[in-house]
Amino acid sequence: MKIGLFIPCYMDAFYPQTGIATLELLEKLGQEVEYPMDQTCCGQPMANSGCNRDAKETEALFIRNFSKYDVIVSPSGSCVHHIRDNFDAIEQTDEVRHVRKNTYELVEFIHDVLKVREFPWAEFPHKVGLHNSCATLRSLRTASMSELGEPFFSKPKTLLSAVKGISFAAPRRPDECCGFGGTYSVTEEAVSARMGLDKVTDHHDAGAEYIVSADTSCMMHQQGCAERNGVPIRFIHIAEILNGARA
């Protein structure tokens, strides 16, 4: 199984350590991983703004970069949601269908495909607040949502529970959106930032030292809100913890 690694644009530019951790983690799990050098973006910013047509060429490039792989893995729930559920600016050829069907978010790939449950090298002696992005929660369904009253499950928590020393904080509104929402974060910046502040405060009040998530875009926004308002909480991607980061 040859894996194509998709590192979204904002992660490439601002959070390279998350990309590195993802690559190293997959390698540790014995996978053959390649990062196609011509990749840029999945097209979500245009599509979410209604300008789906403007995503056409970006989507075509994505297919050129990734159709040769058996599976595509990305440490970003929202991008994977776009590729799987909304990637329709281009014609739906066999190649496109192959890519859409075989693109996985990192947690679900480890949990469902590799079925790995142990990370003997990982140790994170901190209390963390788990933030499930809305894309992973309500589209990719990697965790149960409070709206449906279904039995509890959480793929990210299952994986993190194997990490030595980790403990979990219980925020009051674990499912509440943090307000990032892509371009929403700038078009409605006041509401967006308020939601972000409420989110980080909720985690901080619950005693979390870190917010951990499978979505860096949510955390980029939350970090901005926490720093501006002096909320002392740190942020880390789940890939980094599973790869063995200690802090």
Among 28, 29, 60, 113, binds another protein (CB under 8 A): 60
Full strand arrangement of the beta sheet holding 127-131: 167-168, 127-131, 210-213, 234-237
9 binds another protein (CB under 8 A): yes
Residues 62-91 that bind another protein (CB under 8 A): 86
220 binds another protein (CB under 8 A): yes
Among 68, 114, 176, 206, binds another protein (CB under 8 A): 176
Residue 62 amino acid letter: F
184 binds another protein (CB under 8 A): yes
57 binds another protein (CB under 8 A): yes
CB of 32 to another protein, least distance (A): 12
CB of 177 to another protein, least distance (A): 4
Whether the CB-CB separation of 128 and 214 falls below 8 Å is answered with: no
Among 126, 136, 181, 214, binds another protein (CB under 8 A): 181
CB of 246 to another protein, least distance (A): 20
Give backbone dihedrals phi and psi of 221, rounded to 5 degrees, phi first: -70, -45
CB of 7 to another protein, least distance (A): 5
CB of 37 to another protein, least distance (A): 7
# of chain residues touching another protein (CB under 8 A): 74
Token output for 133? 């992005």
From 38-46, 105-113, 123-131, 161-169, span contacting another protein (CB under 8 A): 38-46
Q: What share of the chain is helix, strand, coil (3-state, %, to 5)?
A: 50, 15, 40
From 45-53, 97-105, 120-128, 157-165, span contacting another protein (CB under 8 A): 45-53
Within 8 A by CB and 6+ apart from 65, the residues are 4, 36, 38, 39
Residue 93 gets the label, from left (phi > 0), alpha (psi -120 to 50) or beta, of beta
Number of H helices, E strands in the chain: 13, 8
